[in-house]
Structure 1
Amino acid sequence: MTKHPTSDERRPANRGPKAAAGNRAALVAAAREIYAVHGLDAPLSRIARKAGVGQGVLYRHFPDRDAIASAVLEENVRQVEQAAADEGATLAGVLGVVTWHLVRSAAFIGLLHADGASGRFHADGEDGRFHTHALARDLSERFERALRGCLPDGHRPGVPDASDDLMLAVAMVSGAVIGPTPEERERRALAAWRLLGITVGPVTAFEG
């Protein structure tokens, strides 16, 4: 009797070199989903399988764990920056985008740890994965600048207490984002924002 391979055993189709950009985007999206459920130590083979590519394709784009985690972080921060720069952007709307990424990206949460009581961010996840990376420090600073630019008039950069409080609030909410499903994590995040008295817009990715 012929044994047919299961879906997990089937060899992913070779999409060819012209699909490199699509493969990379699929790997980043898959990594974000896998990390959100299984954490940053999830097997890379699981990410490749979720993206529908072989592990060789994954390693061509991302030679190690840090590389793919950094790519996820870059996408997180880039969407927040785009939301903040969008015409008519509001702080509530941008925080909705921030919350979407918090709910779906363990890598993003790892970046957003408060440094002491000041609320400033540093690039050191719980496992220390990012602390040696200049890229992570740059992403953290970019994220903070994007949020600072959304503060209402009278609370722009130059009024440090307001912006530092906002950074601390984001870090506090990131600590509340736990649960087995995106729905549960989103519920907890929104509850945390409400407890802090901060209005958040629709929780959604930025579609620019």
Structure 2
Amino acid sequence: MELHRPFATVTPTLDGDVLAVLATHDSAFTTGQIHRILDRFSEEGVRKVLARLVAQGVVTANRVANAFSYQLNRDHLAAEPIMALAGLSNTFLSKLEGELDQWDHPPKFAAVFGSALHGTMTVHSDIDLFLVQDRGSPDAAWTHHVDELAARITGWTGNDARIISYTIGELRRAAAEPMVGEICVSGLTLAGSRAWFLNQVRPMAKKRD
């Protein structure tokens, strides 16, 4: 799946992208505003989709001056599943956090990085996850948990999981690596303390510069 285009899991059409915009905001949008958000599609295409959704009753249209504004009809029977689909990215991250929290020896630090956060995923993209094994965590149990998590991620999303696992010592030695730098800048923390992670890698990275 593409986490930034959750409706593509069920429909490849523009309808899903328009619904995603409306379902993730409480405010109303004009055709032009939606078009600017979805700049890969034509404004006429957006207008036709909105007309179909209004006819189905799932979107409401209100005249504002010389234009119409559109909003998801949250009373519609389909609104709840639409909002659930629109929130798949948050659901995925919550499931990841919950899974890590249940480990007998949780990671000292965990973060998602890469295309899953940058909005550049394709159906063939890996989901990149960075884990730091805590001291005292048995290697066999840790490996089992990591392998099981990778399988769960694929089951949840259909994408392969690329899980990078470091010990605390390995993390410090890898402080200057580009991947670690990317996590420092844009990684999304799932477990542990981001401040702890930065304290481990930034002093070492500066020494290597």
TM, length-normalised to structure 2? 0.24
Q: Which has the higher strand share?
A: 2
Q: Which has the higher helix share?
A: 1
Q: Which has the larger radius of gyration?
A: 2
